[in-house]
Copies of this chain bind each other. A is one copy, B any other.
Amino acid sequence: MALGARPDGVRRHNRSALLRRLHTLGPGSRTELAAELGLNRSTIKALVDGLTEAGLVTERAVAPDGTAGRPSLLVSPRPESLCVLAVDVAVERITVAVVGFGGRILVGRHRRAQRGDTEPGAVVDLVAAVAGALSLGGLRPAEAAVSVPGIVRGADGLVHEAPNLRWSEVPIGARLGAALGLPVAVGNDADLGALAEHRRGVARGVGDVVYLSADVGVGGGVITGGLPLRGSTGHVGEVGHMVLRPGGRLCYCGCRGCWETEVGEQALARALGLPSDASRRRLVTELRAIAEGEDTDRRLGEYANWLGVGVVNLVNLLAPELVVLGGLLAELPPDLVTNVESRARDRSLVGRAAARSVRIRPAQLGGQASLLGAAELAFERVIAAG
């Protein structure tokens, strides 16, 4: 209803608002729902009755909380009644899940990726096969969405470039859509990680968030004013390619001194004195040993310095209340994170000026952030359609 609105659009608008509320925050009494949405009792009753009839929610009486009066009816989403297919294509593994109304994973499969498994054709075949197997269980997703570690055009799901998958100009949205017979949205993995942490993780209820994730590359997703920052095309958040050290190491993107070359997985391996192809598991083990040995400053002082420079820049540019560290960054020793947090507060003009202090916290959803974010992306369309 950005421009003109008609009375006949109001009911659909309110139905979507109610679905969104139930999906994001879970069950609520009719009284709570009416208050939160700013609607009167009879409007809520009509809407809930419609959803019950469609099988989307159940209602049961709950005892009033010690106050007098009739028990209120608790409205709960029925997870299986409305579901989406979520896919996470990562360098090391491909995950396919069906996520139900309310945001819970109903069923999921993942496969460790061998050479060739992440080629676009192989991904399409795998996802179609898994989706077929899952639908035998009676689940019928209404929409699908895919997370890809690359630069994505949101409008049609074209992946311009996903260097670590070696994808270039791959219309994965259209190809998967044809194979599945479903509308397929595509998002960048860090953008979707940000969305998931905002809806269901450590950033729940926080209006301005920067989510950073280091795996093979370094990606970022931004929530501003409670909404994902996407621009008109969805090409935002290539924080890993912020040049911070002109004349520094050569990045695959062609520039020197990109942030990724100082804080990505290889840079972390270098800082830890491990070979640049050390496994994720080995990096994590080493990081935990450092945290226990209280040896962080000596071992990771310079790494922390470069992490701090980039975080200060992002705080100055985007003024987040919270910076969420995802992927490998979630494993950094707590004292290193505290150190970067102090720096973000003291060294950024915005951090100092704002009355509130920026916080830095590890992500809560771990390896499932991008997958759950893809599910949220798909649900956005389901819910908007009412």
Contact = CB atoms under 8 A, between A and B. Distances in A.
Nearest to A305: B246
A231 B319 contact: yes
A231 B4 contact: no
Contact of A225 (B10, B230, B241): B230
A224 interface: yes
Interface string A169-196: 0000000000000000000000000000
B244 A246 contact: yes
A320 B340 CA distance: 29
A86 to B, nearest CB: 24
A68 interface: no
Contacts of A39: 4, 6
Interface centre among A37, A38, A43 (most CB of B within 10 A): A38
A353 B242 CA distance: 16
Q: Which of A18, A229, A239, A316 has most B Cβ within 10 Å?
A: A316
A325 interface: no
A200 interface: no
A110 interface: no
Given A6-B39, A231-B225, A233-B354, A316 B349 contact: no
Given A1-B13, A39-B4, A317 B239 contact: yes
B5 A312 contact: no
A226 interface: yes
A54 interface: no
A312 to B, nearest CB: 6
Interface string A10-51: 100110011001000000000000001111000100000000
A235 B238 CA distance: 21
Given A10-B7, A241-B316, A313-B243, A353 B37 contact: no
Contacts of A3: 17, 21, 36-38
B17 A241 contact: no
Given A4-B38, A37-B3, A350-B238, A231 B161 contact: no
B161 A232 contact: no
A309 B245 CA distance: 10
A356 B231 CA distance: 13
18 contacts: A4-B13, A4-B37, A4-B39, A160-B355, A161-B349, A208-B231, A225-B231, A233-B354, A235-B354, A236-B319, A236-B350, A239-B316, A243-B309, A243-B313, A244-B244, A244-B246, A246-B309, A254-B347
